[in-house]
């Protein structure tokens, strides 16, 4: 069941961008500055996995003590998905209405934030910054990686039926109630398979999904988080989700 779209205005919403990090000290200052220039009213949360390069310390210095900057020094299980989940919980506990995620390596350009926010403000429950909406928009990737990514998304869509051209993009936005409906405590995956699981849980909860086109550019600096373990998990998870029994969708307050 798809809930009717709702219209809200930016003044009604408290927005936070969750940025999972590991060894991103080189990128954080310029990224945060660009985010604040483009979206001066949003808050930023850096969820850092105890980066040896001091990413958390650098992030704290970015705001000069202003209340819009938050740094979560994670001490639990490490990994992209775990960092996102901790960031989601922080945002929900703090009363934010919109929760966005993006990478710290400049592969997700802040100039696309207004498009994602516009879709959320127009009523979508979850919005993906899409590399594949109406074409392929990727720069600086070798052809074999583009083909692997395209195949991965076709693979996920064929198994799970998600209404997305790009199921694995981490540049996203969610309404807080969509995250609550996704039963975050039941999430099992960690790496980039986490992105597929969250999208599936939101969709199966009856939420509306939308895409906003972006151009994805390979990371400027820092350390890639891709590994054989991540690829293996990403291949198996869709089948596991395909046979998972999710709670039936329910109408949520405000819909």
Task: Give one DSSP letter per residue of 60-126, joined into a string.
Answer: HHHTTT-TTEEEEE--SS-SHHHHHHHHHHHHHHTT-SEEEE--SSSSS-GGGHHHHHHHHHHT-SE
Distance of alpha carbon 67 from alpha carbon 70, whole angstroms: 7
Q: How many CB atoms lie within 10 A of CB 215?
A: 15
**Residue that has been written with the tokens 């990727």 in this structure:** 138
Q: What is the pLDDT along the chain (255 residues), one digit of tens a residue?
A: 344 444 444 445 799 999 999 999 999 999 999 999 999 999 999 999 999 999 999 999 998 889 999 999 998 888 999 999 999 999 999 999 999 999 999 999 999 999 999 999 999 999 999 999 989 999 989 999 899 889 989 999 999 999 999 999 999 999 999 999 999 999 988 877 899 999 999 999 999 999 999 999 986 544 455 556 666 566 777 778 877 777 666 655 445
- Cα 54 to chain centroid distance, Å, stands at 23
In this structure, how many other beta carbons lie within 10 angstroms of the beta carbon of residue 23? Answer: 19
Domain boundaries, the chain: 10-242
DSSP state of 217: E
Q: Which CATH class is domain 10-242?
A: alpha beta
């Amino acid at each position: 069941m798809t809930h009717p779209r709702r219209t809200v205005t930016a003044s009604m919403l408290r927005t936070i961008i969750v940025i999972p990090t590991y060894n991103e000290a080189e990128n954080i200052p310029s990224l945060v500055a660009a985010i604040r220039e483009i979206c001066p009213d949003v808050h930023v949360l850096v969820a850092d996995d105890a980066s040896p390069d001091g990413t958390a310390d650098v992030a704290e210095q970015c705001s000069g003590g202003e209340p819009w900057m938050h740094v979560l020094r994670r001490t639990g299980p490490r990994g992209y998905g775990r960092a996102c989940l901790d960031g989601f919980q922080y945002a929900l506990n703090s009363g934010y209405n919109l929760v966005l995620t993006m990478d710290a390596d400049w592969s997700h350009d802040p100039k696309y934030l207004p498009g994602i926010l516009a879709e959320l403000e127009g009523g979508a429950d979850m919005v993906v910054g899409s590399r594949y909406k109406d074409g392929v928009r990727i720069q600086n990737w070798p052809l074999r990686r583009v083909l692997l990514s395209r195949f991965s998304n076709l693979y996920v869509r064929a198994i799970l039926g998600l209404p997305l051209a790009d199921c694995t993009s981490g540049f996203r936005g969610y309404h807080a109630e969509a995250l609550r409906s996704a039963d975050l405590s039941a999430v099992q995956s960690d790496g980039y398979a986490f992105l597929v699981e969250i999208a599936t849980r939101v969709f199966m909860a009856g939420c509306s999904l939308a895409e906003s086109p972006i151009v994805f550019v390979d990371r400027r600096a820092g350390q890639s988080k891709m590994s054989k373990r991540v690829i293996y998990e990403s291949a198996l998870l869709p089948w596991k989700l395909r046979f998972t029994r999710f709670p039936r969708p329910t109408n949520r307050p405000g819909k």
